[in-house]
Each structure stands twice: as structure tokens, then as C-alpha cells.
């Protein structure tokens, strides 16, 4: 990428989160992640160009030196920091402004530092040359997959109902979303295919920020600002060609329900895949911490089915890293206060304790060799805080699953091949690759804010006993029953 020849017309809006905005190149499989500031700071940036560069370099270092070791380097794309011409950044900001969602415009793109993080665009067809069919890319933000230990929480409900399910009620009440998602992370992380299927169906039904589908680099399914529920038939329309053998017009008809079920199964298999085999299956946690009482999944349906994740799977690696949070925010906060008080007394110690980095091997060693017992020292406390920050990154990461249809094997007798397709209605197999994104370090100073939010979420849930405002509950029929209704009529799509 020749930074001195950057043209804003070669880039387009791709998406954004709370702290950064992403644009992608129209020809090459590259994206740029640029920092965002509150709109009130648009003419007075809160940090210098050098500080912005260091912030992005910290993201690269944390991803490559810390999270890569915890999660497995095969899943990680750390990227590199680039310096961009300021005029290019300013023109790019103007160009993409109209494409941004209105609810994200309380923050503006950083146009002062010229710093960005350059990464591969995993949704781009140019990155995947295995087939002529555009890749399908599914982005999932799975959230926390376990319940905290009862001995570290002040409210019993936290050991029974997961943070995500409680937070849904608070988000609806505060107007963040119109409807509650019935997705529960503990079902997805269970390793039980019935529970995982149940979880993915509810991700599709109410994606919010947790589920997106890209086809050939374009986002074709995600939550909108509109209060109207998403139409699953939109997703099925895009999926249909991938689940017809050879994309041949003579292929047997598949109902919407069948296509959805096959898609979910392929996605689950990718999430459970290891290094070419299923690997050892481990429980990873006791059963009491793997079931959420707010989940609508009937626990009796699990029976004696397998429970646990293959050791080499992306979900297992994420869950194990999340579980570095052994104390919950409530148990951790006194340790944070110990470190904070020490830094007030000895400000220069901030560097030695690596509170703001650098995120190198020494930082990783503090995380990995932290003793379970607290010996009362500031070193012990800061190691626990670092562990918690790593766990929080794993709780907020995204998984990108890229699905590529395998080329259909050619038959010497074309007529025989057609008959075989008509007789065998199973979808073509897919090859898949899995990556983990959004691995930014969580700031040390954000811990008090996290505690306040946790208290608000739990307090609201207890005060309302999990009740929802009228009209906020997901309305039937669900996408699955809607898809089932399609079985009674044939659908014809232009080819």
C-alpha cells in the first residue's frame, strides 16, 4: 500500500464499533481501522499524533504478543500501524459520513493524527481464491460464556443468570435496542450441538451487534436502526445458491427451513473444528457455571449428549481465556484499588508495573505466572488486574468464520452427474477458516466504570425480576417458524 498515493475514492465504509471506524479498499483485500473521538472533541483532539500512534501500536503489540499466545496465533491477524496523509484522511471522513449509522455519529473519525491500523479484509473475495463463488463470512461476537463463582459475587443472581441475558433487559429499558435478544452465550459455548443450534437461531433472529453475514465482501444481513424485525427470507435468498449442489438450476428444491438448518450446522461445525480433527473434548468448567437460568433452552433436552468443546476449537480457546477472570469485577475491584492507591503514592511505578504497556513478553509472563493466592503485595494485585483485562478482551472479541464452497467433483458422464444431484439433496461441503478480531487491550482506568455498569445491570434485573417493557419482547412468529411456513410453497428465484 503506497501511502503517498492514497485516494479516498478507493475506499468505502465497512463498519464501526464504539472506539474505531473501519473502511475497506474497493480492489485489494485490506481494511483500515481509524480511531474515533466524541463529537465534542472534533476540533480539539484528546491526544497528540504521537499518542494516537502509541495507542494503535499497543493494539498491535497486545494482539501479537499477548492474545496470540492465549488464543493461538493461527486465529490472529495483528496488522500494522500506518501513517496516512492528513488530506486523504480528511477527505475520506467527508466521503463516508453519509454512510454511517445515525446512532454512531455521536463520535467522529480521527482526522488529526493520520494513524491507522492496516489489516487483511477477511470478507474480501480477493483474499480467497479457492473457488469462483464469493466467500460467505459470518461475524459473531459471542460474549462471556460462563457464570462467575458464587463466592465472588454479592448477588446470588449473578451465579444463575449470565451477564449477557441480564444486560439485554437493561439495554431495552435504556432504549439501546427495541427488542431483547434470546441468544445466550452459555448455550453457544456449551459444545452441545443442540444448545449451539438454539443459540445461533436466536442470533439470526435478533442479531443486534453480535451477528453479521457478508457475501463477497458486502454485508447482507445485520441489525438495522429500524424497529421492524429482520426478515430471515433476506438471508435465505443470499444463502440459497450456496446450498444447491453445483449451483445448478436442476438441483432439487430446498425449503427455507432446510437451508437455514444446513447453514447453522455448517457454522457450528466450523466453530467446533480444531486442527483437522475434533481433538480432545473437555468440560472446561463445572456444570453449574455452564447453564443460564434465563436461557429458554430446556435443559432436559440435553440428556446424556456430549457436553464440552474440542481443545483446539476457537470457542474453547476463547472460553479458557475468558476464565482468567476468576474473581468477577466485584472480587477484582479491591485489588484494583490497591494498585490505584500505590500509583497515587508512587506515580513513577506505573511504568514498572506496565499499567499502560508495553505489551511484551514481560507483560505476558505476569499474566501467565500469576499465583492464585493473593499475597497482599501490589505485584500480586496488578497481575490479577492484568489477567482480568486479558479476560475482558476475550469476552468482547469477535469471531470471523469464512465459508468457501468446495468445487464439485466433475463426473465423466454429465447425465449421470445431473441424476446424482437430483437424487442427493445434501448441500455441497464447505471449507472454512476461523479468525478472532477486536483484540484491543482494555484500559486499566476503565475498571471503576465497568463496576458501575455491572451494578446497574444487576440492580435493574433484580428490581424488575427480569420483566420487560410492553412491546419489547420478541414477537412471534420467530424466524424459524416463518421459515417453516415456506415449506408449503415453492419459491422461484431468477437465475
> How do residues 211-249 score in pLDDT, each as one tens digit?
999 998 899 999 875 556 778 889 999 999 888 754 444
Distance, CA of 10 to CA of 422 (rounded, Å): 44
Task: Report yes or no: 3 and 11 within 8 Å, Cβ to Cβ.
Answer: no
Distance, CA of 434 to CA of 270 (rounded, Å): 7
Tell me which of 228 and 40 has the higher pLDDT: 40
Q: Does the domain made of 3-121 have the CATH classification 3.30.200.110?
A: yes
Q: Where in the chain is CATH 3.30.200.110?
A: 3-121
* pLDDT band, residue 101 (cuts 50/70/90): confident
DSSP 76: B
Report, as an integer, the average pLDDT of 71-79: 95
Residue pointed to by grid coordinates 480528511: 90
484 contact partners, CB below 8 Å, separation of at least 6: 255, 256, 257
Cell of 13: 465504509
Reply yes or no on whether the pLDDT at 132 is more than 90: no
Distance, CA of 167 to CA of 208 (rounded, Å): 13
Cell of 273: 473444528
pLDDT value, residue 160: 95
Burial of 495 (0-12, 13-18, 19+ CB in 10 A): exposed
Task: Report yes or no: 71 and 321 within 8 Å, Cβ to Cβ.
Answer: yes
Count CB neighbours of 114 within 10 A: 20
DSSP string, 170-213: HHHHTTS-SS-----HHHHTT--HHHHHHHHHHHHHS-TTSEEE
**Average pLDDT over the chain, rounded to whole?**
85
pLDDT 10s digits, 294-330: 999 987 776 555 568 999 999 999 999 999 999 999 9
* pLDDT band, residue 286 (cuts 50/70/90): low
pLDDT value, residue 282: 60
Residue pointed to by grid coordinates 461475524: 139
Report, as an integer, the average pLDDT of 263-272: 95
Tell me which of 2 and 46 has the higher pLDDT: 46
pLDDT value, residue 133: 80
Task: Report yes or no: 245 and 408 within 8 Å, Cβ to Cβ.
Answer: yes
Q: E strand or H helix at 215, and its extent?
A: strand 211-215
pLDDT value, residue 130: 59
**Longest Cα separation, the chain:** 82
pLDDT value, residue 485: 44
pLDDT value, residue 422: 40
How many residues belong to the chain? 495
Rg, Å, the chain Cα set: 24
**Backbone dihedral angles phi then psi of residue 194, each to the nearest 5 degrees:** -65, -45
Number of helical H runs and strand E runs in the chain: 16, 13
**Backbone dihedral angles phi then psi of residue 221, each to the nearest 5 degrees:** -155, 115
Reply yes or no on whether the pLDDT at 77 is more than 60: yes
DSSP 65: I
Reply yes or no on whether the pLDDT at 42 is more than 90: no
Reply yes or no on whether the pLDDT at 487 is more than 70: no
DSSP 355: B
Cell of 81: 500501524
Reply yes or no on whether the pLDDT at 479 is more than 60: no
DSSP 257: H
DSSP 465: T
pLDDT value, residue 469: 53
∠77-79-83 over CA atoms, to 5°? 170
Count CB neighbours of 238 within 10 A: 17
Report, as an integer, the average pLDDT of 126-134: 73
* pLDDT band, residue 280 (cuts 50/70/90): low
* pLDDT band, residue 426 (cuts 50/70/90): low
352 contact partners, CB below 8 Å, separation of at least 6: none
Worst-scoring range by mean pLDDT, 403-412, 451-460, 478-487?
478-487
pTM of the model: 0.88
pLDDT value, residue 417: 45
Does residue 105 have a cis bond before it (omega within 30 degrees)? no
Nearest to 108 by CA among 58, 211, 36: 36
Reply yes or no on whether the pLDDT at 421 is more than 60: no
Amino acid at each position: 500500500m503506497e501511502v503517498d498515493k492514497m485516494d479516498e475514492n478507493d475506499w468505502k465504509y465497512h463498519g464501526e464499533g464504539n472506539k474505531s471506524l473501519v473502511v475497506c479498499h474497493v480492489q485489494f483485500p485490506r481494511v483500515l481501522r481509524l480511531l474515533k473521538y466524541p463529537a465534542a472533541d472534533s476540533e480539539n483532539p484528546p491526544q497528540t499524533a504521537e499518542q494516537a500512534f502509541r495507542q494503535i501500536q499497543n493494539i498491535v503489540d497486545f494482539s501479537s504478543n499477548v492474545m496470540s499466545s492465549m488464543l493461538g496465533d493461527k486465529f490472529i491477524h495483528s496488522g500494522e500501524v500506518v501513517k496516512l496523509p492528513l488530506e486523504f484522511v480528511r477527505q475520506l471522513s467527508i466521503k463516508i459520513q453519509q454512510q454511517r449509522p445515525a446512532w454512531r455519529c455521536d463520535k467522529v473519525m480521527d482526522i488529526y493524527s493520520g494513524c491507522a491500523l492496516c489489516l487483511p479484509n477477511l470478507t474480501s473475495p480477493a483474499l480467497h481464491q479457492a473457488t469462483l463463488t464469493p466467500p460467505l463470512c459470518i461475524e459473531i461476537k459471542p460474549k462471556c460464556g460462563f457464570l462467575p463463582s458464587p463466592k465472588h459475587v454479592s448477588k446470588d443472581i449473578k451465579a444463575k443468570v449470565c451477564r449477557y441475558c441480564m444486560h439485554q433487559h437493561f439495554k431495552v429499558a435504556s432504549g439501546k435496542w427495541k427488542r431483547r435478544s434470546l441468544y445466550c452465550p452459555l448455550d453457544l459455548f456449551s459444545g452441545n450441538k443442540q444448545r449451539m443450534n438454539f443459540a445461533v437461531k436466536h442470533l439470526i433472529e435478533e442479531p443486534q451487534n453480535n451477528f453479521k453475514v457478508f457475501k463477497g465482501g458486502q454485508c447482507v444481513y445485520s441489525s438495522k436502526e429500524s424497529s421492524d424485525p429482520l426478515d430471515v427470507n433476506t438471508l435465505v435468498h443470499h444463502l440459497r445458491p450456496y446450498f444447491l449442489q453445483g449451483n445448478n438450476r436442476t438441483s432439487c428444491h430446498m425449503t427455507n427451513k432446510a437451508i437455514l438448518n444446513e447453514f447453522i450446522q455448517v457454522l457450528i461445525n466450523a466453530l467446533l473444528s480444531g486442527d483437522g480433527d475434533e481433538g480432545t473434548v473437555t468440560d472446561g468448567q463445572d456444570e453449574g457455571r455452564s447453564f443460564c437460568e434465563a436461557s429458554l433452552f430446556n435443559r432436559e433436552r440435553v440428556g446424556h449428549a456430549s457436553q464440552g468443546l474440542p481443545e483446539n476449537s476457537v470457542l474453547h480457546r476463547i472460553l479458557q481465556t475468558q476464565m482468567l477472570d476468576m474473581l468477577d469485577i466485584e472480587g477484582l475491584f479491591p485489588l484494583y484499588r490497591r494498585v490505584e492507591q500505590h500509583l497515587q503514592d508512587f506515580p513513577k511505578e506505573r511504568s514498572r508495573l506496565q499499567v499502560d504497556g508495553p505489551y511484551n513478553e514481560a507483560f505476558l509472563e505476569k499474566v501467565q505466572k500469576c499465583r492464585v493466592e493473593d499475597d497482599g503485595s501490589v505485584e500480586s494485585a496488578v497481575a490479577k488486574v492484568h489477567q482480568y483485562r486479558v479476560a475482558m478482551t476475550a469476552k468482547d472479541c469477535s469471531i470471523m468464520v469464512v465459508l468457501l464452497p468446495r468445487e464439485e467433483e466433475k463426473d465423466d458422464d454429465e447425465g449421470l452427474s445431473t441424476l446424482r444431484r437430483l437424487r442427493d439433496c445434501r448441500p455441497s461441503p464447505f471449507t472454512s477458516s476461523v479468525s478472532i478480531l477486536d483484540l484491543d487491550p482494555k484500559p486499566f482506568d476503565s475498571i471503576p466504570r465497568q463496576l458501575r455498569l455491572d451494578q446497574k445491570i444487576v440492580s435493574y434485573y433484580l428490581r424488575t425480576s427480569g420483566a420487560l417493557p410492553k412491546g419489547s419482547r420478541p414477537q412471534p412468529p420467530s424466524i424459524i417458524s416463518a421459515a417453516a411456513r415456506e415449506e408449503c410453497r415453492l419459491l422461484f428465484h431468477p437465475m
